[in-house]
Amino acid sequence: MDDDFEDLLGGREALVQDSSQESPTTAAAGLDFCESEEEEVLDDGHTLADTAVDYGLAMAVEVEMDQTRRLRKKTPQRGKDKRPNPRFTHSTPEIGAHAALRHFTPGSSDTTASAEPPASSALGKIEAVFEQIADDMLDGEREIGLSLDIRPRLLPKGRHPDGTTPPERKTRRLGFPGKTAEEAWRFTVVLRILELMHEALRTGVTISKRDMYYRDPALFGSQSHVDRYVDDIAYTFNVPRSALNVTAVAKGLVVGAMSICRRDGSVVHTGADREGILMPTLRDVLSVNLSAVKWIMVVEKEASFRSIAASSFWDRLSTEGVLITGKGYPDIATRAVLRYLCMPSPHNGFASPPSYALMDYDPDGLAIMSVYKYGSAALAHESADLRVPQLKWLGLRSEHMLLGGDGTHTSQGLLTLTARDRSKARKMLEREASAEDGDDSDEAESRRPLQVMLMLNIKAELQLLDAVPGCMTGLLERELHGCTD
């Protein structure tokens, strides 16, 4: 492990000289944005030709690195027992240099054609980590581990003086079983994230940090841990996050059997791209064609949206349905579009397709559905124009909790309500009780999901359905068929 990074750094020093000769703009850009975490800025001032040249260099460096690694492999391993972390003694390069290196590995999706070498190298780096761990285990080492570079945190963006005071590039070693339980956990988290990245790179899909979190919420504990380690790993590998096929989440997506006619005369068919398109702004929309749409399904999370849109049964469903996600608590645009689609008007051909909500089984899932359905408390004054009262609760419901059988994956998907969940549920119950001070049976109906959740003291993420093959398909076909017939 350590050797890899040393070589990376060594290669980088050579690289910065080359690059400044070849393309002064590159080096300048690299210095300007040396502290930036955003990969978008890396494209600034670049022509395709530049990138092509850069690629050649990056490849060459890769090869060189491989050779040095092979040559030097033995030396540090011998010294390992005495000096467990040789990295600290190694000289660190200018920070501008590694930022410049990022130019040679642009993995952003707009350059997909040429993104193959850096992506595979990211894959290679992950596999190198795995191999190292596997080797250590085979060699019977008492502890396995991996190293992460610590991102410099204190320097504000773009205010770094031209490389005169380079911050030390610090490394942290995470061992397993490690000295403390926390270290073992951190090691597990990093390893799991690497595994998910590896899966994403190998299958060529893009995974969001949110999705990563929901793949194993019990392990990660909170989204911020995932965010932090994803960025740490990208920093350690010296690649932009997108080169690891990891993205942050943007708002509002739609995919399905409808077409949108914009005011500028263009027509967009939302089923054209399985990835979905970003939610259009209603201001730009002249009308929508919903003639083929039999139902609209609102999905709480992008992860589930993608997993449905990428599944084989979506081939059948995509001709008759529309899938929408607001990615958590929806923004106004998403809610406005949903209402626009569901409420008969001249703009949508007087269609009123039934709409269904597929949410997590937790207080937030129910709250999100209620935002779509009745509006949010924060924007109560605008709610009348945004709500979709006929929205029906498709899942997850308490009766779906045992769908996955007794497998370990299922029991991992079921979580205990936290104190925050319980108090949120109770506040929601109180709000319902005060809002509907009338018909007793109606009131009881809307409270039931919350009460049952509190009684069971259990919540579940939509990913529960992904854990068991065919589970999501079964649920959707059962529920939607009941409605389309």
What sign results for the dihedral spanned by CA atoms 59, 60, 64, 65?
negative
Of these, 85, 91, 120, 457, which contacts another protein (CB under 8 A)? 457
The stretch near another protein (CB under 8 A) out of 57-65, 186-194, 247-255, 451-459 is 451-459
CB of 447 to another protein, least distance (A): 6
The distance of closest approach from Cβ of residue 448 to another protein in the complex, given in angstroms and rounded to an integer, is 5
Which of 40/430 has CB closer to another protein?
430
**Hey, what are 230's tokens?**
């994803």
Q: Which of 71, 378, 402, 435 binds another protein (CB under 8 A)?
A: 402
CA 365 to chain centre: 18
Q: Residues with Cβ < 8 Å from 194, sequence gap 6 or more?
A: 126, 129, 130, 233
Answer yes or no whether residue 440 interacts with another protein by CB under 8 A: yes
The answer to the question of residue 221 lying near another protein (CB under 8 A) is no
Binding status of residue 448 toward another protein by CB under 8 A: yes
Candidates 128, 219, 277, 454; binder of another protein (CB under 8 A) is 454
Say whether 214 is catalytic: yes
Minimum gap (Å) between residue 134 Cβ and another protein: 31
Closer of 266 and 451 to another protein (Cβ): 451
Does residue 31 contact residue 162 with C-beta atoms inside 8 Å?
A: yes
Question: Interface with another protein by CB under 8 A: which range of 90-98, 326-334, 354-362, 429-437?
Answer: 429-437
Establish if 441 lies at the interface with another protein (CB under 8 A): yes
Rounded-to-10 torsion of CA 238, 242, 244, 249: 130
416 near another protein, rule: CB under 8 A: yes
Contact flag: residue 423 with another protein (CB under 8 A): yes
Between 172 and 397, CB nearer to another protein? 397
Which one of 255-263, 298-306, 447-455, 463-471 is the stretch in contact with another protein (CB under 8 A)?
447-455
Binding to another protein by residue 21, rule CB under 8 A?
Answer: no
Min CB(441)–another protein separation in Å: 5
Query: Per-residue b/e over 77-87, b at no fewer than 16 CB within 10 Å?
Result: eeeeeeeeebb
The one segment of 2-10, 66-74, 117-125, 421-429 that binds another protein by CB under 8 A: 421-429
Binding mask 372-401 for another protein (x = CB under 8 A): --------------------------xx-x
For residue 433, state whether it binds another protein (rule: CB under 8 A). Answer: yes
What is the closest distance, in whole angstroms, from the C-beta atom of residue 459 to another protein in the complex?
Answer: 13
The residue (of 180 and 451) whose beta carbon lies closer to another protein is 451
Out of 55, 214, 235, 372, pick the active-site residue: 214
* CA atoms in the 13 A half-sphere facing the CB of 78: 4
Please state, as a whole number, how many other Cβ atoms lie within 10 Å of the Cβ of residue 372.
27
Q: Which is nearer to another protein, 249 or 429 (CB)?
A: 429
Tokens representing residue 196 in the block: 């998910």
Give 8 or 417: the residue with its C-beta nearer to another protein: 417
Binding residue count for another protein, defined by CB under 8 A: 26
Residue 251 identity (one-letter amino acid): K
Residue 478 CB, nearest distance to another protein (Å)? 14
* Closest to 200 in 3D by CA, of 222, 217, 218, 215: 215
319/457 with CB nearer another protein = 457
Closest-CA residue to 238 (of 104, 92, 406) = 104
Q: CA torsion 58→62→64→69, rounded to 10°?
A: 150
| Minimum CB distance to another protein smaller for 79 or for 405 | 405
**Residues in the site for another protein, rule: CB under 8 A?**
398-399, 401-402, 406, 411, 416, 419, 422-423, 425-426, 429-430, 433, 440-441, 444-445, 447-448, 451-452, 454-455, 457
Residues with a known catalytic role = 214
